[in-house]
Each structure stands twice: as C-alpha cells, then as structure tokens.
Amino acid sequence: MAKANKKTKNRARTERRYQASSAGNWVTFAAGGISAAAMGGGTYAQLLRAADAAPIPAAPWLLAGGALGLAAAIWFGGSASAIRVGDGGIATERGDSLTRMPWYAVTSVALSGDALLAEGKDDKGAAFSLRLSRTKDANAAGRIVAEARMRVPSVVNLGDDTFGYDEQTGDLIQLEPLHLQGKHCSASDTVITFEADARLCPRCERVYHRAHVPEACACGAALNV
Ligand SMILES: [Zn+2]
C-alpha cells in the first residue's frame, strides 16, 4: 500500500488555462439561485399571504425582478473569463473567483445543441454547469472531453463523437497539493484527521482514508492496494 500511495501523494498536479471566448459560453452561478429565491419570495408574498391581509405592494415587482434576474443569470450572467482543465477537474474563473468541479463530482459530459455541456457539483457541493462552444472554445472543450474520457468515462455521453484539440494549447499551471485534513473518506466516511492518512485517487481525486482504500475507485481506477 505504502509504495503506490507515496507515488500518488507526491505527484505534481497541473492544469491548463484557456481564455474563454467572449460569446458562446456561459456559466450559471449562485446569482440564479438568488434570483430564484427572490422569485419564490415574491410568489409566496403574492399567493400565500393571508386572504384578509393587505396586498404587499412590492410583491409583483419582486416576482418580476426575480424572474428577470433568473433569466439574466441563465443567458448573460456569469460568463467565465477563463476555463481551467487538469488534475483538479474543471474550473471557471470569473474575475478573481475560481469555481472548481473535481472530476469525481462530474455527473455528465454531453452535447447540448452545438455546445459541450459539463455538469456536476463544485468542491463545495453547489451545482456546477459549464457550457462551451464547440467551435469558439474548441481546444478547451476538446481537452475536457479527452480528460473526462480518461478519468471518469462512465459520465461521458458522447458516443464516438471526436473532439479534436491541440494538446499544446492552454497555459500550463502548477497546482498546489490538495489539503485533505478534515475531508471524509469516500468509502467509509471516516474523517481524515491526519494528512498522512489520506489517499487520493490519481484519476478522479476522490479521497480515501488509508485504512479503507478499495481495490478500485468509484471512477473505475485501480488503486493498487
Ligand atoms: Zn477515482
């Protein structure tokens, strides 16, 4: 066990960064959730207030504002300025903030019209969805497909569709080692109290406690225990 684990523990983590095309991609962010909440609040105030209570003047506006905000979040909001793909999963940059979906949290990589759609959860458990133009962001989309097919093949629903891309594209970024203390083991739910007890799947970066490492990771990778 120790041999394989040392290898995975010390390996360098990297990813590639791509400027996103100014049009053709969007990311839905928490803004959508906030607008939806505003919409819910408006609906509640409008429909569920006590029958004899005075109408709440702001409610129709709150409802309309929420719906508009939600539409804006879907269609215009959150265009990512850059996309990252690599050992850490798929990440989007928006200003100074980075939102990351680890490979183990990817639930689907598929086509949506002429765009590549990657969906799942970010590393904090919030819904993550990235849509990339197949033509305008061909290299970023191609790398996502290639890495997803290698790392988490069961969630890729693209049949034999090929996504050609230039492997030399994207700025190479060195990633910090993951901090695993406090995370839960994917197999046993045991809390990782000591960093040295953590074992990482090199393909999807699922975390395991060293006493509970399965022969194969949930992504299908052999863990050589
Ligand atoms: Zn794995």
pLDDT attached to residue 38: 54
Identify whether the C-beta of residue 83 lies closer than 8 Å to the C-beta of residue 101.
no
Q: Could you list which residues have their CB under 5 Å from ion ligand 1?
A: 201, 203-204, 206, 217, 219, 221
Instruction: Tell me the C-alpha distance between 70 and 84, whole Å.
Output: 26
**Taking the model in full, what pTM does it have?**
0.73
Amino acid (one-letter) located at 61: W
Domain ranges across the chain: 15-20+83-174, 31-75, 178-225
> Looking at per-residue confidence, does 80 or 61 come out higher?
80
Q: Per residue in 29-52, pLDDT tens? A: 444 445 555 555 555 555 555 555
Alpha carbon of 116 to those of 23, 129, 132, 156: distances in Å? 14, 10, 5, 11
Q: Per residue in 119-128, pLDDT tens? A: 999 999 999 9
Instruction: Tell me the C-alpha distance between 48 and 186, whole Å.
Output: 42
pLDDT attached to residue 69: 56
Dist. CA 207 → ligand 1 center (Å): 8
What is the DSSP-derived secondary structure letter of residue 50? Answer: -
Dist. CA 98 → ligand 1 center (Å): 23
Dist. CA 130 → ligand 1 center (Å): 21
Q: Per residue in 93-152, pLDDT tens? A: 988 899 999 999 999 999 999 899 999 999 999 999 999 999 999 999 999 999 999 999
pLDDT attached to residue 95: 85
Q: In which element (H, E) is residue 2 found?
A: helix 2-10
Dist. CA 95 → ligand 1 center (Å): 31
The region, left, alpha or beta by phi > 0 then psi within -120 to 50, assigned to residue 154 is alpha
Q: Per residue in 159-217, pLDDT tens? A: 989 899 999 999 999 999 999 999 999 999 999 999 999 999 999 999 999 999 999 99
DSSP state string for 59-76: HHHHHHHHHHHHHHHHHT
